[in-house]
Structure 1
Amino acid sequence: MITTRIPSVRNYFPYEPTADQADLFGRLDGFLKDQLPGRKVFLLRGYAGTGKTTVVSALVKWLDKMGRKYVLMAPTGRAAKVMSQYAGVPASTIHKRIYRKSGGSDSMAFTRQPNRAGETLFIVDEASMISNEKSFGESALLDDLLGYVFEKTTNRLLLIGDTAQLPPVGQSLSPALDAGVLASSYRCRVEDAELRQVMRQAESSGILMNATQLREELRHAQDATPGSADATPRINFVTKGYPDLYKMGGDKLEDGLRWAYRHYGHENTTIICRSNKNANQYNQLIRRTLFDAEDEIEAGDYLMVVRNNYTWLPAESEAGFLANGDFVEVTKIVRRIEEFDCRFADARIRLVDYPDEPELEVRLLLDTLHTESPAFPADRSKALYNAVSADYEHLPTKKEKSAALRADPYLNALQVKFAYALTCHKAQGGQWPAVFVDHGFLKEDMINAEFTRWLYTAVTRASDKLFLLNFNAKLVDCEAE
């Protein structure tokens, strides 16, 4: 029985709390003091600028002071890196924490590993990205996360996210931020709090002011009768008076990028656009005009992994595997290969978000650089598999052939795209000091809740400077009627 008075998490918060934050601290204190076993989840939903990260930083200080055990996780390497920076302690990807390789060394199968931690608070950021549809292993990531955490019913789970951001690909909502889904589908007892008030410290930010307007328009559109005038968001970016916000035409892009690269570096600058086709065009433009690239791929090129790969990185490494969404930089092209109607390159790379990892040599699939699909198309993957498989027809047993295919360097080539420009889903979970946003082709009937959610997610990737690139004139600095 605990008889000593436990201080509030609020005591470790560096500012005077907003009303929303004060309510949150009361709910969070009760959640943390509840020692009875059970599948207990706290949902912390909050919009950009409302203080989610500052709250989590205060919570980590409280947990350390109280001697409580905790684990920090996020869906991607970039999101885990951001979380580590604001929390002041290491965070890992969910996959690294909860999965392990099963079978032999040549196996590509992963299973959920046992959770030996008890009486531990698991804190997961960017929960809007977590899907409850099967995509990794034999079950959905949300299923495996909850199964892992509540293997010990003395554990607790804190899910943090922004309901105004894009949901997982192919889904209409973010199930990990939906109390009803967690209660009905996963038998969880859910406590929740929502932060809506922008902190006073953020009020001078044009990025956050405009993000706030976007999410208010999104909320109004969602609450409106479908087909009514109110169901169409009224988007109006205000740039006047805000030095962190710029509108620019495409003719100024080269100058703008040169300025951003000079001030922040290319790793801290990105373009966010609507499609892989647009991203490909921007990536080629940047390589050609800003970096004077002559070859298809060169040392210094900045890439994103677009399909999980379990071959090249040791399972015991910090990252565990090369995940979809990881950023890498080419440090050397060793050789180029044309085989099986595809182009490859053996290259040395460094993992941008894991600076302590040594460089490693991998085989890259170059064809993926130019596809308009998110990764290598299924029909071409099948053709490559069939062509490689024919090389192993001489092996006497099915088992030997299967093992050879699993270890084949062509089939395991790393699928990558250039990463100077990204789609919004690829950028989600990360932040960059300088972000250029291009909404692409836009007709009036395309300005709906879905577009507003896309725009909000893109805008909130910027932490310092936001450039509105080729924006429709009706969306920027329009005087109120």
Structure 2
Amino acid sequence: MSTEANPSFLLKQNFPFEPTSGQVSLFKKMDDFLLNKDDFGNLCFVIKGYAGTGKTTVISTIIKVLPKFGYKAVLLAPTGRAAKVMSVYSRKKAFTIHKKIYKQVANQYTGNLEFQRQNNYNTKTIFIIDEASMIADDAEYGTTGLLSDLLEYVFTNPEESHTGNKIIFVGDTAQLPPVGKLSSPALDVNYIKNQFHLGVAHQELTEVMRQDANSGILFNATELRNTLINNNINSSSQKPQIAFTCKGYHDFYKMTSEKIEDGINYVYKKYGREDSIILTRSNKTAVLYNQYIRQKILYYEDEINAGDLIMVVRNNYHWLEETSPAGFLANGDFAEIIKVRGIQEMYGFRFINLTIRLIDYEDHPEIEVKALMDTLYAHTPTLSREQNKMLYDAVCEDYAHITLKKDRMEAIRKDDYLNAIQIKFAYALTCHKSQGGQWKAVFVDQGYLQDDQINEDFVRWLYTAITRASKEVFLLNFHKDFFE
């Protein structure tokens, strides 16, 4: 085969910039990955890269050249917001992992809806998974974890013993790992090798691309990344040194609380509410900011208004047909309220009927839902286990007259109150809730911070927060010691 027919040649030829040394190395590794069809060691490729190292440009170029080697591409991401970002940069439709690999089926004994892995009939297909740092491998949707289910889906075809499929994981190891985890399993080469017995090619991109060199966001993100690396090398117990640089940059600012009203009005006018966000370290602080914005910026007087932006905070499978573009209302989905109709008090909780528009699914029809009011101002992420049980027990009492257990359970399962969506306002969020998303303007609130909390987790939190922004970052109420 001539050099001109190699993936590395075509990738470099189609790359819109002069590639960095890391990108050139990645392109060369693509020769083996795409051309060695039967080598079991060439089924998985992990691309790790920090902010500004050109991951999105690399992926867009890979997608462009795949057809020349007989491959199709399927683009997947962990959340609707991340899939939307992926669709924009790749100019190709991306899906959530859950929508693609699972279907909902009713348990024949309980009637409860459960996730079941779908069959995959794709062959000679490269599955490209963005924001892979968010993917956990705990048994949440079935008996195995999401990563296990995803790999099983990609490499199993009921009609073909050899699918010819491959998978590429793309992500940033400096970001926060899945909630409650120390690392991101989908970006851990050794975990994939040992757990799934797959050979894994990998490349880490570390060099910030030249065209991004004047970005204060990327300069400070890179400094935080270097802090993480140096802190790991020196001592995990050593307090990391954080020194933000704002001077000389027109996209990275520090701001005190006295300026917050002017700052929010500025970004809402410049970018709009959907493209602006405040990120906090606690649910309690997010609630306070949401109340402040609704009262002082938007002048909303009611508890909830048409025009309010909300986020779904718990997966819900009741209100959408499985065939809809979203499939179900997922934890982390953003919506705008179109209509508000009557608050009801039932079972010790407060409910409201809403018409909503899903922000990250632009062609999705409006949805009629019942929502729980109680989570809007709660300082917890969702209803507590005790509250969920209290609601369930109260709903069950209303169906006690149905004698046949199967019919009674079916009626309970379909109850609108039990299936009310749990929501929060979405003007301010915790950083974990923002992962996979991107906004033009991001305010990052330091919050109450003790000296012993300035650790590796805090640096990852900062890095994840400021890299949610594509245009401007505003550091709110940060101590002067954090600046040069």
Greater CA drift, 45-54 or 329-338: 329-338
Answer whether contact 2:7 2:34 (CA < 8 A) is retained. no
Q: Secondary structure at the match of 1:139?
A: coil
Which of residues 223, 235, 239 in structure 1 aligns to 2:233? 223
Deviation at 1:3, TM superposition (A): 11
CA distance in 1, matches of 2:69, 2:281: 46
**1:147 equivalent in structure 2:** 152
Length-normalised TM-score, structure 2: 0.95
CA distance in 2, matches of 1:28, 1:422: 38
Answer whether contact 1:121 1:156 (CA < 8 A) is retained. yes
Q: Secondary structure at the match of 1:408?
A: coil
CA distance in 1, matches of 2:3, 2:482: 58
Task: Tell me whether 1:410 sits opposite 2:417 in the alignment.
Answer: yes
- The percent identity for this pair of structures is 51
Task: Tell me whether 1:193 sits opposite 2:203 in the alignment.
Answer: yes
**2:6 equivalent in structure 1:** 6
**1:442 equivalent in structure 2:** 449
- Read off the aligned partner of 1:317 and give its amino acid letter: S
- Read off the aligned partner of 2:80 and give its amino acid letter: G
Task: Tell me whether 1:212 sits opposite 2:215 in the alignment.
Answer: no
Task: Tell me whether 1:70 sits opposite 2:80 in the alignment.
Answer: no
Per-residue CA deviations over 1:271-316 (Å, capped at 9, x if unaligned) read 0000100100000000011111111111011000000011111100
Deviation at 1:376, TM superposition (A): 1.2
Which of residues 435, 440, 460 in structure 1 aligns to 2:467? 460
- Read off the aligned partner of 1:388 and give its amino acid letter: V
Deviation at 1:137, TM superposition (A): 3.1
CA distance in 2, matches of 1:193, 1:112: 30
CA distance in 2, matches of 1:2, 1:367: 65
Which of residues 78, 91, 97 in structure 2 aligns to 1:88? 91
CA distance in 1, matches of 2:98, 2:373: 26
Answer whether contact 1:38 1:154 (CA < 8 A) is retained. no
Deviation at 1:66, TM superposition (A): 4.0
CA distance in 2, matches of 1:264, 1:65: 39
CA gap 1:472/1:34 in 2 versus in 1, 3 angstroms: same
Which of residues 12, 23, 26 in structure 2 aligns to 1:24? 26
Answer whether contact 1:75 1:127 (CA < 8 A) is retained. yes
**1:279 equivalent in structure 2:** 286
Deviation at 1:32, TM superposition (A): 1.1
- Read off the aligned partner of 1:159 and give its amino acid letter: F
Deviation at 1:29, TM superposition (A): 2.4
CA distance in 2, matches of 1:6, 1:19: 18
Q: Secondary structure at the match of 1:350?
A: strand
CA gap 1:364/1:42 in 2 versus in 1, 3 angstroms: same
- Read off the aligned partner of 2:89 and give its amino acid letter: Y
Task: Tell me whether 1:350 sits opposite 2:352 in the alignment.
Answer: no
CA gap 1:30/1:262 in 2 versus in 1, 3 angstroms: same
Answer whether contact 1:337 1:344 (CA < 8 A) is retained. yes
Aligned counterparts, 1:124-135, within 5 A: 124-135=129-140
Which of residues 156, 169, 186 in structure 1 aligns to 2:166? 156
Answer whether contact 1:37 1:154 (CA < 8 A) is retained. no
- Read off the aligned partner of 2:150 and give its amino acid letter: L
Task: Tell me whether 1:99 sits opposite 2:102 in the alignment.
Answer: yes
CA distance in 1, matches of 2:367, 2:464: 33
- Read off the aligned partner of 2:317 and give its amino acid letter: Y
Which of residues 32, 35, 39 in structure 2 aligns to 1:33? 35
Per-residue CA deviations over 1:105-153 (Å, capped at 9, x if unaligned) read 9742110001111111000000000001122233211111111111145
Deviation at 1:67, TM superposition (A): 4.2
Answer whether contact 2:70 2:124 (CA < 8 A) is retained. no
Which of residues 361, 378, 381 in structure 2 aligns to 1:374? 381
Point out where structure 2 has 5 or more consecutive residues left out of the alignment: 158-162
CA distance in 2, matches of 1:413, 1:168: 26
- Read off the aligned partner of 1:225 and give its amino acid letter: S
Q: Secondary structure at the match of 2:5?
A: coil
Q: Secondary structure at the match of 1:435?
A: strand
Which of residues 324, 334, 346 in structure 2 aligns to 1:327? 334
Paired positions, count: 474
Task: Tell me whether 1:267 sits opposite 2:274 in the alignment.
Answer: yes
Which of residues 37, 55, 60 in structure 2 aligns to 1:57? 60
Length-normalised TM-score, structure 1: 0.96
- Read off the aligned partner of 1:157 and give its amino acid letter: I
Per-residue CA deviations over 1:241-286 (Å, capped at 9, x if unaligned) read 0000111001101100000000000000000000100100000000
Deviation at 1:28, TM superposition (A): 1.8
Answer whether contact 1:101 1:107 (CA < 8 A) is retained. no
Deviation at 1:37, TM superposition (A): 5.6
